[in-house]
């Protein structure tokens, strides 16, 4: 086999530049977790609007990532990165100064568009910069640590900012980073593109978005209101668009994605594992951040400090995966990562309204440790399976599974917890008459309403609210534990034919 020249100092500096937008793109999936009580009190969203504020960003990214990965392969990945920096910065300004729930939802959707241009560009550029497999695995590990770690870092950054500023400040931090990226990328990062991309499939791009949003909407409504015919129709409609998208890609002479890759167990199981692990991390991240601040009563800054071990868990998982992958088969490591995260979820089920925060942080750290391990391994598997000229599309698929999984986790686990909370609170028919039904729709709204009530009313109200939210929290954790356990077993079976890498001395 041919050997490849090693990367130079400029290439590694380029990794540092590309890590920043990857970090911010994933961080914006979770940066609002700490701000959720303040948004509930300030903008007074309904439970449905609140969840859309949290997850429309991820769903827009998931629906557009394949399209933007294909666009980057054609117009140039660095050029798309710079376009994304402008869009992301402008949308951040709009979100920071939103005056209503509807305005914030729209701004988050525009952020999703910007994020969809940033994420595939960064990973595909790294794929082209590093030809040596070992160096590429290290660079991808650094990128993965930033991208996955961003989900854990988001609540911490949000908590630190909320200690001194209003909730909109969590968006303003994006602006200077985007300006720095616009200045540095043209100097440090070289351009790359597919030399023979073919025609751009505009109709296929529309189908990819049409496949995502109806499914998401239907799942959210089913979790919220039960299996109504409108919700089932939305899911079926989205599935129909997805089928049309696959058929079109199979027949196209220049497809956006090569769907034949999914026939390879290493590729398809990696995509699935990636989506499942971020489903768990993001879905539980929102609930855990809210639980710490409302039920346990920690201020944003204190909550942020307590969550630092969860970030260490992510990066420890990345480091372990990078080290152990040199000698141990992917089937063992991916399965182990998923099962470690499942153990974290199982520990979440032990939490009560009176638990010490150490129990919750221990569970969350186990979860992020497994996330770091799994995401590093499956991202590397996806990239090495795809041909180099399709790096943008392959990167987009990996990130689509991440963003779709994360947003779906917020939607499904968040909706499940919200439904249990709302049903428990509304079971007391006198409660709605006392504080208003809107105040019992979210725990943030309940806490805000309690501040204006006499102590003899506020005390019982908050105790009931905390127990209701804890029930929703532990129910969501049970679902997560089951999903991850099944996924861990399935990954071990599907990846069993993928061999361990040869010893370092035999690689060429």
Q: Which residue has the tokens 């609210």?
A: 465
Please name which of 448, 411, 439, 440 lies closest in space to residue 423, comparing C-alpha atoms: 440
Give dist(CA 185, CA 121) in Å, integer.
Answer: 12
Asked whether the beta carbons of 39 and 444 are under 8 A apart, the reply is: yes
- Domain membership of residue 213 (yes or no) is no
- Under DSSP, the state recorded for 390 is G
Give dist(CA 345, CA 327) in Å, integer.
Answer: 28
- Domain membership of residue 481 (yes or no) is yes
Give dist(CA 91, CA 113) in Å, integer.
Answer: 9
User: What is the extent of the structural domain holding 457?
Assistant: 11-201+252-506
- Domain membership of residue 127 (yes or no) is yes
Listed as own residue / partner, the contacts of 455-461 with beta carbons closer than 8 Å and 24 or more positions apart are 461/431, 461/434, 461/435
Give dist(CA 451, CA 471) in Å, integer.
Answer: 23
Burial of residue 479 (number of CB atoms within 10 Å: 0-12, 13-18, 19+): middle
Give dist(CA 492, CA 476) in Å, integer.
Answer: 25
Asked whether the beta carbons of 61 and 413 are under 8 A apart, the reply is: no
- Domain membership of residue 214 (yes or no) is no
Q: How many CB atoms lie within 10 A of CB 499?
A: 8
- Domain membership of residue 172 (yes or no) is yes
Q: How many CB atoms lie within 10 A of CB 312?
A: 15
What is the pTM (predicted TM-score) of this model? 0.72
Structure-block tokens of residue 489: 């077993």
Residues with Cβ within 8 Å of 215's Cβ and at least 6 positions away in sequence, in order, are 234, 235, 238, 239, 242
- Under DSSP, the state recorded for 260 is G
- Domain membership of residue 4 (yes or no) is no
Structure-block tokens of residue 186: 């043209």
Task: Let me know the angle formed at the C-alpha of 90 by 88 and 95, rounded to the nearest 5 degrees.
Answer: 90
Q: How much is the CA Rg of the chain, to the nearest whole Å?
A: 22
- Domain membership of residue 93 (yes or no) is yes
Burial of residue 239 (number of CB atoms within 10 Å: 0-12, 13-18, 19+): middle
In this prediction, the residues of the chain whose per-residue pLDDT falls under 50 are: 1-4, 429, 503-508
Q: For position 230, what pLDDT does the model report?
A: 83
Give dist(CA 344, CA 366) in Å, integer.
Answer: 5
Burial of residue 415 (number of CB atoms within 10 Å: 0-12, 13-18, 19+): buried
Give dist(CA 444, CA 423) in Å, integer.
Answer: 16
CATH code for the domain of 72: 1.20.1250.20
- Domain membership of residue 225 (yes or no) is no
Number of domains comprising the chain: 1
Please name which of 164, 147, 144, 32 lies closest in space to residue 98, comparing C-alpha atoms: 32
């Amino acid at each position: 086999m041919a050997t490849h020249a090693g990367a130079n100092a400029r290439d590694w500096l380029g990794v540092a530049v590309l890590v920043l937008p990857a970090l911010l793109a994933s961080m914006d999936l979770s940066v609002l977790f700490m701000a959720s009580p303040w948004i509930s009190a300030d903008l007074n969203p309904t439970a449905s609007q609140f969840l859309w504020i949290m997850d429309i960003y991820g769903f827009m990214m998931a629906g557009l990532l394949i399209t933007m990965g294909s666009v980057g392969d054609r117009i140039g990945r660095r050029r798309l990165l710079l376009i994304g920096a402008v869009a992301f910065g402008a949308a951040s300004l709009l979100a920071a100064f939103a005056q209503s729930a509807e305005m914030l939802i729209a701004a988050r959707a525009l952020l999703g568009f910007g994020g969809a241009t940033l994420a595939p560009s960064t990973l595909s550029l790294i794929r082209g910069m590093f030809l040596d497999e070992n160096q590429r695995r290290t660079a991808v590990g650094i990128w993965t640590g930033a991208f996955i770690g961003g989900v854990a870092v988001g609540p911490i950054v949000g908590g630190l900012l909320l200690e001194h500023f209003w909730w909109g400040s969590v968006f303003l931090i994006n602006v200077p980073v985007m300006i720095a990226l616009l200045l540095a990328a043209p100097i440090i990062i070289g351009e790359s593109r597919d030399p023979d991309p073919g025609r751009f499939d505009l109709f296929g791009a529309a189908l990819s978005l049409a496949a995502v949003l109806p499914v998401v909407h239907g799942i959210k409504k089913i979790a919220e209101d039960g299996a109504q015919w409108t919700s089932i129709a939305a899911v079926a409609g989205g599935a129909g668009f997805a089928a049309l998208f696959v058929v079109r890609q199979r027949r196209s002479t220049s497809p956006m994605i090569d769907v034949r890759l999914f026939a390879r167990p290493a590729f398809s199981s990696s995509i699935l594992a990636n989506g499942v692990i971020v489903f768990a991390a993001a879905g539980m991240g929102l609930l855990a951040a809210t639980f710490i601040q409302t039920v346990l009563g920690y201020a944003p800054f204190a909550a942020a400090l307590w969550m630092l071990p969860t970030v260490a868990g992510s990066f420890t998982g990345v480091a372990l995966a990078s080290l152990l992958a040199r000698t141990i088969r992917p089937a063992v490591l991916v399965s182990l990562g998923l099962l470690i995260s499942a153990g974290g979820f199982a520990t979440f089920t032990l939490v009560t309204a009176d638990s010490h925060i150490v129990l919750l942080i221990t569970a969350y750290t186990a979860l992020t440790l497994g996330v770091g391990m799994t995401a590093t391994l499956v991202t590397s598997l996806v990239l090495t399976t795809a041909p180099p000229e399709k790096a943008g599309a392959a990167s987009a698929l990996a990130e689509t599974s991440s963003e779709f999984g994360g947003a779906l986790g917020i939607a499904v686990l968040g909706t499940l917890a919200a439904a249990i909370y709302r049903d428990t609170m509304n079971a007391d028919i006198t409660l709605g008459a006392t504080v208003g039904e809107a105040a019992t729709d979210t725990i943030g709204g309940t806490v805000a309403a309690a501040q204006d009530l006499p102590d003899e009313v506020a005390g019982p109200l908050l105790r009931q609210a905390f127990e209701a939210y804890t029930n929703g929290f532990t129910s969501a954790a049970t679902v997560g534990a089951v999903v991850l356990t099944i996924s861990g077993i399935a990954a071990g079976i599907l990846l069993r034919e993928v061999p361990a890498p040869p010893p370092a001395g035999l690689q060429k």
